[in-house]
Amino acid sequence: MPSNDILGWIRAGLGLLLLALAVGCTSPVPGAPTLDWQPLNEGLPAHTLVLELAVDPANPRVVYAGTGDPTGLYRSEDGGRTWMGMALEPWGQPVYALLFDATRPGTLLAGTSDGLYRTRDQAQTWQRYPNLPLRLIQDDFQPTAVYALAQDGSGTLYLGGNGLQICRSQDGGERWWPLAPLPAGTAVLSLGVSPNGVLLAGTDGQGLFQSHDQGRSWQAVEEVGGAYVAGLWFVGEDGRIAYARTQRRLWRTTDGGQTWHPVADDVDGRVDTLALIPGTEELLLATNRGLLYRGAVDGMHWTPWGQGLGRSESVFTVQPAPGRQGRFYAGTRSGLYLSDDGGLRWQRIDQGPGSPAATALAQAPDGTLYLNNTHGVYRFRDMGEHWTRQALGLPAAPVLSLAISPADAQLLYASVEGHGLYGSTDGGQSWTVLHSEAPNLVGLALHPSDPQRLYGHVTYQRVYESRDGGRSWVARWEGMGLDIEVLSLTVNPHQPQVLYAGSTQTLFKSQDGALSWQRIGPDLDGQTVFYLAVDPSHPEWLYAGTTKGAYRSRDAGHRWARWGRGLEGITATALAFHPHREGLIYAGTKYRGIYRTDDGGRTWQPANGGMQAVSVNSLIVSPDGQWLLAATSQGFYRAAAR
């Protein structure tokens, strides 16, 4: 069952993916040099949003994981230690719900962004259900998605989602029949069915509904109100106790849905998910801060329980393994965790589902390469074959951004989610906290000659500045509206007092070291600016990667024009200039991999030899001009820069 706070992100990402597929793949220009990409991910743990888990009841060593980023379905045959991807379609898609049919051994159902699928042969082949009952008023721009699956004791299946009515099947999914409709436009995020036939349906902002007549009519639960209800669980054998998880709190009924009351208000964070501990009358509860609690099924008292999940680690699902006492799996924002002692201690599975994590790259003046991701900071020395984690002093939490002083190869800064800003003076071998309450800086930019002066931008916010090496921060928003979200930030290395900030709407410029900002570049209005760069040789030339391709300005950002042919309509996310060959430039894109130009941007050609059509997060050319280095949605790649 999807959490409402990730649904918007997944829907937006899916929309971009569909757009990319509709545009089609550009064929390489005959005679254009190709790049031979080599994946180098040894030492990097796997990463993905694990949205759902299902353990095969006939063989507890077989586990399935539905994921959101990278999208797809994964299978483990060794109790979750190693995983392999299972293709649903030629391209991946988010998998929101998984359900083993209790009355038909070996049958697994998968609810995805493209509807409902079924397999009967250990996920080797899949059948898509083509004729699910659609809701009466259909949005042509929103794909039909299945977010929730449930089954009652008689074997009747239920499903809900977006763009379709809640429906049921009494023949293993061969035919589906619509139930009474919910309010128009309602998407169903979660479903629950009790042993005595009570149905619960959680929606995306319309609240919680229940039915006592097998779905012929629905009644709204007034106590819950118009909330997002992303999780529903019946516990116990009599169907009297159930829980509903909303954006803000956990609700409980002890009378089969007649009355509902809030519980677990004393836990730290928002409740994400819960699970019944097999063989007990107790529950395991997880919050969006990576914390676990244990309590009786009545939900009156909760005791802190377990360690090993990262702080700020949203937990989307917790599943016990039938027949394996003490074994639990936890699907989180950054991957899969496993516990063999009832949730007391958790171990992250580095070879879990997903792809190697590679958020961004940073290269020191001496050529040492660093990478940050959801697991920390990693170093790649002398263009070797192995990444080494630089963890001494860093908390176990995602590193949102990383920056290296242009004047000192040993001076590094790292923004750690929920923990503030950290610094290293020995090339990342050890770290100390500089400001534990610093905001979550998803981007860092350093003054080219003053290592004590830093700039950063925060998710859903704007720009901050530090003039004492990150020990204190001041908001620098003058001239920016409160609705502005900055996504890219750069300092002009030729004129350090000049900064540029790209947002979800437009472009801003500061000429006084971020003290004030002016809106510029009306040619970019309405576009999201993912990347900004100043030309290495021309201080007035500026480049922008946007949702509509690459743009160039020759007057310090005031006027912009589309930069050449070949990137039209393709989201550009990164740029890299060859240091010794003028006119040779590389562009990273969303879903389309790498493009290159030999003529200063007049024409662009794809350069993805050996690389899938990935999204590029960061792109660097090594100082000696020998290597092109890319952090992508599928890990780290290297190619000879030619």
Sequence-ordered list of residues with C-beta below 8 angstroms from that of 57, at least 6 positions apart, any chain: 100, 102, 105, 322
Residue 89, pLDDT score: 64
Residue 69, pLDDT score: 76
Edge-to-edge strands of the sheet including 441-446? 441-446, 454-458, 463-466, 474-475
Q: How far apart are CA 490 and CA 459, in angstroms?
A: 16
So where are the chain's domains?
1-31+574-642, 131-263
Do the beta carbons of residue 306 and residue 345 sit within 8 Å?
A: yes
211 is written with which tokens?
Answer: 């039915």
- For the residues of 29-80, what is the DSSP string, one character each? PTTPPP---EE--TTPPEE--EEEEEE-TT-TT-EEEEEETTEEEEEESSTT
Q: How far apart are CA 108 and CA 96, in angstroms?
A: 13
3-state secondary structure of 21: helix
Residue at token pair 């502005």: 484
Sequence-ordered list of residues with C-beta below 8 angstroms from that of 248, at least 6 positions apart, any chain: 227, 270
Residue 143, pLDDT score: 63
What fold does the segment set 131-263 form as a domain? Methylamine Dehydrogenase; Chain H (2.130.10)
Residue 32, pLDDT score: 58
User: Which residues, given as ranges, of the chain have pLDDT below 50?
Assistant: 4, 8-30, 136-141
Residue 460, pLDDT score: 85
Do the beta carbons of residue 3 and residue 315 sit within 8 Å?
A: no
CA distances from residue 54 to 65, 73, 79, 272, 349 in whole angstroms, order as listed = 7, 11, 11, 17, 16
Do the beta carbons of residue 412 and residue 361 sit within 8 Å?
A: no
